[in-house]
A and B are shown apart, each in its own frame.
Chain A
Amino acid sequence: MTTRAEFLGSIRREMDKTRGLFEARSASRPADAGGAFEAVRRQMAERWPQALECFREEFERVAGVFHRVARLDEVPGVILRIAEERQAKTVLSWHPEALGLDLRGSLGPEGLSVTVAPDGDPDAATRQRHRDEAARAEIGVTGVDWALAETGTLVLVSGRGRPRSTSLLPATHVAVFDRERLLESLEQVGIMLEALHTDPARSMSGAVINFITGPSRTADIELTLTRGVHGPKEVHAIFVEGR
Chain B
Amino acid sequence: MIRMPPELGTALERLGDELGVLATRARNGLRYLAGDPLGEIAATPREPVWSRDKVVLYRYSKGAARMRTPVLLVMSLVTRPYVFDLRPGSSLVEDLLDAGYDVFLLDWGVPDAVESSNTLETYCDEYLPRAAQAVLHITNADRLTLFGYCFGAVLSLISAAAHPGFPVKNMVVMATPVDLSRLGPLANMLSKGRMEPEDLFDETGNVPASTMLDGFRLISPTSELSTLANLWGSLADERALAAHQALIGWANEQIPFPGAVFAQFVHLFLRRQLLMKGRIPLADREVALARIPCPVLNVLGERDTLVPPESSAPLLDALHGVELDTLTLPAGHAGLFVGREARKKCVPAIIAWLDQRD
Partners in one complex: no
Residue numbers of A with Cβ under 8 A of B are: none
